[in-house]
Amino acid sequence: MTTNRTPLIAGNWKMNGAETESVALARAVAEGAPGGCELLVCPPAVLIPPVAAVLKGSGVAVGGQDCHFAEGGAHTGDIAAAMLADVGCSHVILGHSERRADHGESDELVRSKTEAAHAAGLVAIVCVGETLAERDGGETLARISSQIEGSLPAAATAENTVIAYEPVWAIGTGRTASPADVEEVHTHIRGDIERRFGAGVAGGIRILYGGSMKPSNAVELLAINGVDGGLIGGASLKAEEFLTIARSCS
């Protein structure tokens, strides 16, 4: 990665952990954080306050895993973007394939959530990715383009938005896309961004790879042209694995 984009290594803890172990995990990440990349952890919502407290001043950022598109009101069980910001979040993951699948989230909904995140001052990490059927059907690039078009609001910038390319079939499966496939999709995404938002945004926006990134494959994946970091699920739950991936950035 020889660009002026600072790599971002983001951990998606999903629905895992309890307070004591999560605080210990966050503390270990902060103590071992290497230079050369930005680090972010995204705990389950109820664990954000204790994790944010232990990470305060450490340089390791905290993010949510979802937010509602509305500012507040009658949305039982949901969390507003401003609430995440209020408890110390700087980022929020949106449109993760598990939310698209489990909660039927559409590109339009992801776009409105992204707008809400921006309005609250959060950086939105917008996830896109094809299913195995779409890849096998030769529809990968078209699918990615329509997700990018539908999920990103007009006001997206390199500062308020990060894109995560996560092939659905590579998440939690141990399978990763080949370096050539990852480079093709990242180049394609950056081209889409350039056509819609201009060369400045395309040159500055970070595009992460996600899908079974682990210590044994991180050096290869993070070295791919156009890959500006990783969104990491399983391997972010062990501090040493997450930190080994982070050290692979340099």
Contact residues: ligand PEP, CB under 6 A: 12, 166, 171-172, 210-213, 231-235
CB of 200 to ligand PEP, least distance (A): 28
Question: Are the CB atoms for 215 and 244 separated by under 8 Å?
Answer: yes
**Residue of minimal CB distance from ligand PEP?**
233
Q: Does the annotation mark 96 as catalytic? A: yes
99 or 111, CB closer to ligand PEP? 99
The residue from 96, 118, 186, 188 that is catalytic is 96
182-207: burial string, b at 16+ Cβ within 10 Å, e else: bbebbebbbebbeeebeeebbebbbb
Distance between CA atoms of residues 39 and 165, nearest Å: 18
Q: Phi-psi category of 164—alpha, beta or left, where left has phi over 0 and alpha has psi -120 to 50?
A: beta
202 or 237, CB closer to ligand PEP? 237
CB of 163 to ligand PEP, least distance (A): 13
115 or 241, CB closer to ligand PEP? 241
Q: Is 5 helix (H, G, I), strand (E, B) or coil?
A: coil
Question: Are the CB atoms for 55 and 62 separated by under 8 Å?
Answer: yes
194 or 220, CB closer to ligand PEP? 220
CB of 231 to ligand PEP, least distance (A): 5
Catalytic residue set:
96, 166
